[in-house]
Every structure is written in C-alpha cells, then in structure tokens.
Chain A
C-alpha cells in the first residue's frame, strides 16, 4: 500500500517537473522563431545582398574604341576583328601533348611555350591563357580544323585597333598599345575601365582624345561558386563604343604629301585659311602604327629607331627650323605697318653689305642692283631685307611675328609633343643668354636665320593669315569641336569687328595687299624664285615664298668653292622651305613645305606645292559639299 502511494507520488513529481520543462521548451522555441524572423524577414534584404555579393561576380571586357574618320568619313583609325587562341587548363586532358600539337601547328617558339607553362602555373585552372593574340586567318582555320584533337583550346574572336592607312597618319593619330602601370594610374578613366588586354593611346590624338575614344566596358555577370569558378552567365551588359571623331584632314592630300616626301625627311602642312581646318599634316618619314598593336618586335623597333631620317619625330609640330626667306613676308609687312618703308623704297644690292666690319652676304653673289620691296621679295634679295630689318629693329619685327603666330603653339592642347618655337627680341636675349642684342643679329633675323626657330605648322598658319587678308584664325584638326563654317568665318572677317573670333592683325589692309602681291610676283613673274613651279591656270594659280635655311655657317672657302648640292655632305645641306597659298584670285588654302637638307627652296620644295595645289583645288568643291553634312554616316 505504502509502496503504491510512493509510486504515485513519484509519478507526480515526474509529471510536475515535466510540466515546468514543457513550458520552458515553448519559450525557447519561441526564441528560435523570433531569431528566424529577424534574420529572414527583418534583415532579409541585407542577407540577400550579401548572398548575391557572394555568388555574382562581374567581368569587365575591354571597351571598343571610337573610330576616327577623315573629313569625308573614311575611317582612318578603326577596329578590326582579330582571332585569338585561348587555353582553358582545366579542360585540357594532356597539357604536354596539347602544347606539342600547338607548337607544330602555329610554329610557336620554345620561349613562348615556356611562357605558357609559367602562366598555367600562376593562373587558376579555369582562367584562360592567351596563346596567341593575333592569329592569321589561315592559322585560325588550321586550328579550327584540328579542334577535335585540341581539347581545352578555345578560338576566340575579339576586336583590335586598326589603322587602314598605316603610316599615312601616324604622326596625327599616334597609336594604341598595352598601357604600363604608370599610365593606368595617372588617367582616372583608364584606371576605372582597365582590364587586361585593353590598349590605350600612347601618342598623338589617340592619347589626347583618350577620354572620348575609350568607350565603356561591356560587363559579363557570372554566377560563381565559393572557389571563384564561373558556373553560368547571368547577364551580358553591352558596352558603348567610344565617340566617333571626325578630323578636318583629307586622306587624298595626306597621301600625296607622303608620296612627295617619300625617302626624304620633311613635312607638309595644308590649312584652310578661313576656318583654320588642317587639311593635311604629314611628317616624313613615318612608320606603321599597326606594328605596335601586339607589341613591336625588337628588330622592327631598332629599324625605326635607328633610321637617320628620324621617323619617330613629328617634324610638323616638333621640328624646329630656321624659317629662312619664308620669314620675308612678315619682315616686309612689319616694315610697312610701322611706316619704315613704302613700296617704292629701294636698296642697292651689291651682293653683300658691311656692318661694323662684318660682311653679310646676299645669296646672289653678283647682287640684285636697285630693288624695291616687290622685287626684293620676288628674287628674295637678302641685302634689301638686311637694310629693312636694320631700320625696323628686332623688337618691332618680333611684335608682328608674334601676332601671326610665331613662337606659339598652334594645336597645343591636342599634341603634347608640339613645340612653341622662338622668335627673338632684345629682352629675350638679355633674359635668356645674358648678353645684349647685337645689330648684326637683327640683320640675320631679317632673313630668317639666327635665333628664330619655327615649326612647319607655324609657317603654314602665318601664310594662311596673310592669305585671308590678315585675320587671326584658330587652326583645328577636329571637326566637331568648333562648328565655325566658312560663311561664318568670312562674314566675321568682312565685318572687321573685334568681337568676332577673327581678330585683324594689321593696321592698313593695303599693306597686306602689297605683301600678297609680292608673294604672287615671287611665284608667277619672271625671275621669281619659284617661277618654275608656277601654274598659269587662274583656277590653280598660287602665290608663295621660298626659303633656304642654312644649317651651318658657310665659310669663306665654301662660298668660293660654290659646291653643288651633291658635293655637300647630307648633314650640312640647307633645308628647303616653301610657303604658299592659292588660288591667288580667291584664296582658300595655305601650305608650308619643308624638306630637310633638300638644298634650295625653289628647287626642292616649291615644285611640291604645284602638285599639291592641283589636288587641293580639285578637291575644293567636294570638300565644300561635304561640310554641309553635319553627320556623316559611314
């Protein structure tokens, strides 16, 4: 009985204590549900984001660069499909066999094979190794034919920069290539959009217009696993191609320039005298920018670097030359403007002039006799300009020269290798050389020798501003950044108002006319220095001024020897220069030509102008029509 009671009591304890625990269980489960609620309902968004961050990874692809086109819409820097070969190591069954097969198929060097093996050991097994960046079509076909035997090999098509006119535009466009670390870091946009395999502009417009050309990355979103392996593609976001940039240049003129300067060192620039459009800008010799796209070979690089004609220098913008006699229109204009001379002022040329015991020679030993301004320009009489410069003084000459753009960058912002040149004055010498100006230096400055240094493009601009009646123009090479039309330009010049962009550079329009006429005489009248290169047809008729710049002082002995060009060593030969504008009656284009060590301007440079004007003026009409189209569709 007692036992029974005890039994009941025992079970009472058990039941009572179970009840306490049961209540505790409910509380604990409620706590767990609350925790679940807070994680899954309250903080769901946060964890969903974290989960997506875990599993979604983005791969940026190289952006597609914008095209650069010439004035007529021809692509001069475009994009081309290239064929590449990738290996995905994790899919390869037998790596050594594969390398052996590829080696024979593509003639890979042992060094290349070593590089692939090294890459394989560095990368994750699912990261692709680029075996060849630029396969030829036949190689690509070959690989595709044997693909069944090449497990783990992936032929890939991608896009690469291409310069269809190869060396014609190198100094204008520059080229693109793989950036180095410094270049990535210094440019914000490049830093942001950089992906391996991307190429950036290294030189010229490709470099300075990087921001506009670069384009945006295409983005591939992949789902990845915990080890970073791509499982599947979720999204493909197309990138935007960089902006298309239309230049003012004319490929035909550019080509002719290249042809004329073939095997010579020199430069040709052609400019629209109203709009400032640069029609051509060629520096010779040039080189093929396509060589740099996939890394230039050492041999090819040495060939370019060691060429004595210096293809790497952009002579149009960075070449500094004494202007020689091409400065004479500015000297004449400055003297007229300052009322130092009038057109009838005459100087007797005896072939030389003495100053403080120093002899200054005219190029013509026998002398020109009595010469007026027109005659002196026509025959390029040095004695006349010695005298005019002496009367004018270098400081007044400097002011005129500066107004016409000498000593100042022409396209500064677009080409970081452009040089500003130099037009001296007395202060400049004192500040920079620490000595006083000597009158003899004024004399030689008057014939474009001495300290004066100009770039070919500056001479072209100077000529253009004389040709358009003496108005300042802003040269440009890109169409879309300054929509000043020919009509606008002409009206603004006609109004002669200072508010318009075309500031007048003269006091009396008569003076400009006198200089223009003198340049006409120089080309189109008997005894003119470029008479032999004239065109009589008024449609093409042009006016110009030759120049022959000494590169070294001519000794007395050499002067007496009167050597032929071929007898002088190449390095010592004079630079040949020519500046001109045309058509004379209704001028539109100005040009400057420089042939390094070409001898005399009349023989080496002026004949090229004849060829150029024929082409430029023939193309004038198409060019005018083209400018009516705001947007060209290619």
Chain B
C-alpha cells in the first residue's frame, strides 16, 4: 500500500514542471507586476520605501510559492491541523506580547519583517477544515458533535482576532471557514437558520461594537455626515475613482493620490489609486485578471481527485473572491470601512505571504491532481 502510493504520487522534477498550471502562474505574475507599478505610483513616481519593500516581499514569497507547489499535496494535508494550531499559538502570543499600533495589538516583530498572524489564519482555517471534511464520513457531517467541533475551530481564532481588535479580518476568517462548512455538506437549513438568527441578533451585536466601529457603520450609511472626519476617506475614495472616468488620468497622474487626498493608499485603498489612474477599463481589466485566477483555481479543484484538494481549492478561491469583494465594496462605498487588503495588490507582508502560500498549495494540487489522500 505504502509502496504503491509512493510510486503513484512521486513525479519527477520535470514532470512537476510540466504539470504546473501556467495560466494561473502567468496571471499571478501579471498581478505582481501590476502591484509593483501601482506601488511605484503611490511613492509619487519614485522607487522609494514602499516599492522596494513590496518588491523584496515578492522576491521572497514568489519562490516560496513555487517551493510549496513542488511539495506533494499529501504533505499539506498532513500539516493541516498543525498549521492551524501553530497560528492559534501565534495569535495567543500576539494578544499578549504583540506590537501595538493605533489601538490594536495585531503584529509580532520577526526582525526581518512584522508578521500579522491573523492574516495567516485566513489560510490555516481553510487548510484545517478542508482536512477535517476530507477525513470525516459523509454521514457524520451533520451530527451535533461534528458541527460543534467545526464551530469551535472557527470561533477560537475569531475571538482571538476580534479581541485584537480587528473586525475586518475576523469576518474574513469566519467567511472562509463557513464556506468549507458549506462545501463539506452541512445542511442548507442550518445555514438558513443561522442567517436568520444573525439578522435578528444584529442590533445586539452592534451594541457590542467599539465606538469607532459604530462610527464606521454610520459613516457608511451617510458619508457626508462628517466629510472632514469619519466620512473623509470614503468621500475622497469615491472622488478619486469617479474622476478616473473611462480611461483614467494616466499612470502617475492620479491627482487625488499624488496630492495626498487619499488616505491609506498603499494598503486598503490601493484599488482607488489604480482606478483613478487606469479608469474603468483598467479596473475591469484587473477584475478580469482576478476572475481568471479564481476560475483557474476552481478548475484545479474540479480536476483534483482528492476531496482535500477540492475543498481547499474551492475554499481558497472563494476566500480570494471574498477579499476582493469586501475590499472593492469598501472603496466603492458599498460596505462600511473594514480593514481588508486586496490580495497581492495591497502593501503588507502577512497578507501576501498568506495568499502566496494559498497559491502554492493550489499549484501543488494541480501538479498532484491524481494523488489520492487516505
């Protein structure tokens, strides 16, 4: 059995290279180049700190992605729970000893760069739950113990992240986890019930929000309430995007960002700058690039033989989709401002690390699509 597995799974180096999903790889490279150009623009058309730092992160994490791709998907299955527990430990560490910045404790200093474990949790939860639903028998999926266990797996990191406090990331973690539950076969009625319960308890939840979070929601409902204070970001973001028009103002010519009207242009509002400079055409182009990536990942999942690969690919595709939707809705004024980066485009090491790990595992799933996992 062991012998057969080995023969079946281990491909030679060249076979592996042949099996790489080149369309996905090219899309990732294109996205990386775009992100570098936009970062260059946020630095005012010079190669300054953000561009250099973003570039060096790409240089480290892109090979890391390839490296992950060359490991058999089996190993990532094996690591599923361990990865999850390690990140839980890091989250615990951060909540006690983490770096504090603008009122929240999210980061840990790794000398070379500052790590935000909650970003890695977005991947870890998918990996962990994918393994869980891969291993569980179909009859047991909807048992009480199973659902309770799964909910615990999701709630523990969420509580840790919310207490940082970081509402945006915890919502994204929750959504990433729930999608695996959905894919894993949890009954539709449970989703419906809990959604109704959520709606009913919404006012109650809101009363638990921090004042600044409430303010964000109020601002979202009416940005002109306080145009120079809380509403400033969203108003300026809409002005930047709207003034971009069909073709945009041109590369390095986005006045809103160049003249510092855009806050957080490196991170959460990177799309605003992109959209101002490249217009509707550029924005739709970027969206198409993301769509290709997402559907390429879904295709890999569909081609995969093991349910683990399927669950991971579908879950990861969905979470990328969610990141994009939440980020774009936020900068377009469709959702309240919750801190959520745009994958690869936004400045920030942990988010890119998590995304690259995800891509790596997806590429590994493609290479080892015929691999079965016990």
Contact = CB atoms under 8 A, between A and B. Distances in A.
Contacts of B275: 36, 40
Interface string B304-318: 000100110010001
Contact of B243 (A22, A36, A50): A50
Given A18-B183, A55-B261, A35 B334 contact: yes
B183 A14 contact: yes
A27 to B, nearest CB: 11
Given A36-B280, A225-B259, A14 B244 contact: no
B238 A47 contact: yes
Contacts of B137: 6
B246 interface: yes
Given A10-B185, A225-B260, A226-B261, A51 B246 contact: no
A32 B137 CA distance: 39
Contacts of B230: none
Give the dominant DSSP class at B's interface.
helix
Interface in A202-235: 223-227, 231
Nearest to B311: A14
Contact of A48 (B243, B302, B314): B243
A9 B139 CA distance: 11
A33 B290 CA distance: 13
A105 interface: no
A223 B253 CA distance: 13
Interface in A1-48: 6-7, 9-11, 13-15, 17-18, 21-22, 25, 28-29, 32-33, 35-37, 39-41, 43-44, 46-48
Interface residues of B, number: 45
B239 A47 contact: yes
B256 interface: yes
Contacts of B307: 7, 10-11, 14
Interface residues of A, number: 38
B154 interface: no
Contact of B310 (A14, A33, A55, A225): A14
Given A14-B183, A36-B332, A223 B311 contact: no
A51 B240 contact: yes
Contact of B291 (A29, A36, A223): A29
Nearest to B180: A14
Interface string B126-145: 00000000000110000000
A33 B284 contact: yes
Contacts of B280: 36-37, 40-41
A15 B311 CA distance: 9
A22 B301 CA distance: 13
Contacts of A225: 259-261
A36 B239 CA distance: 12
B294 interface: yes
Given A32-B287, A36-B280, A54-B256, A22 B298 contact: yes
Interface string B248-290: 0000000110011100000000000001000110011001000
B259 A55 contact: yes
Contacts of B321: 25, 28
Contacts of B183: 13-14, 17-18
Given A17-B183, A226-B260, A48 B287 contact: no
Contact of A28 (B182, B241, B261, B325): B325
Contacts of A39: 238, 241-242, 332
Contacts of B310: 11, 14-15, 18
Contacts of A28: 321, 325
B179 A48 contact: no
A599 B21 CA distance: 117
B245 A44 contact: yes
B242 A9 contact: no
Contacts of B259: 54-55, 223-226, 231
Contacts of A50: 239, 242-243
Which one of A21, A37, A231 has the highest number of Cβ atoms from chain B below 10 Å of its Cβ? A21
Given A7-B307, A25-B321, A48 B242 contact: yes
A172 B329 CA distance: 70
Nearest to A48: B243
Interface string A39-75: 1110110111011001100000000000000000000
Nearest to B259: A225
Contacts of B328: 32
A55 B276 CA distance: 14
Which one of B238, B242, B328 has the highest number of Cβ atoms from chain A below 10 Å of its Cβ? B242
B185 A51 contact: no
B356 to A, nearest CB: 22
A40 B244 contact: yes
A40 B311 contact: no
A29 B138 CA distance: 32
Contacts of B239: 47, 50-51, 54
A32 B332 contact: yes
Nearest to B255: A55
B178 to A, nearest CB: 11
B239 to A, nearest CB: 5
Nearest to B262: A226
Which one of B241, B259, B318 has the highest number of Cβ atoms from chain A below 10 Å of its Cβ? B259
A15 B302 contact: yes
A51 B260 contact: no
Contacts of B238: 39, 47
Contacts of A37: 280
A37 B311 CA distance: 34
Which one of A7, A54, A224, A225 has the highest number of Cβ atoms from chain B below 10 Å of its Cβ? A54
Contacts of B236: 54
A53 to B, nearest CB: 9
A36 B275 CA distance: 9
B245 A40 contact: yes
B143 to A, nearest CB: 15
Nearest to B283: A36
Nearest to A21: B318
Contacts of B329: 32
B129 to A, nearest CB: 12
A572 B185 CA distance: 120
B241 A10 contact: no
A225 B240 CA distance: 14
A9 B307 CA distance: 10
A36 B241 contact: yes
A41 to B, nearest CB: 6
Interface string B210-254: 000000000000000000000000001011111111100000000
B245 A41 contact: yes
Contacts of A223: 255, 259
Interface in A406-440: none
Interface in B289-348: 291, 294-295, 298, 301-302, 307, 310-311, 314, 318, 321, 325, 328-329, 332, 334
25 contacts: A14-B183, A14-B185, A14-B307, A21-B179, A28-B321, A32-B287, A32-B325, A36-B241, A36-B275, A39-B241, A39-B332, A40-B275, A40-B279, A44-B244, A44-B245, A47-B239, A48-B245, A51-B243, A54-B255, A54-B259, A55-B256, A55-B259, A55-B261, A226-B260, A227-B260
Interface of A: 6-7, 9-11, 13-15, 17-18, 21-22, 25, 28-29, 32-33, 35-37, 39-41, 43-44, 46-48, 50-51, 54-55, 223-227, 231
Among all A-B residue pairs, the 4 with the closest Cβ atoms: A47-B242, A51-B243, A226-B260, A225-B259
Given A29-B291, A50-B243, 8 more contacts: A14-B185, A18-B298, A44-B242, A47-B238, A54-B255, A225-B260, A226-B261, A231-B259
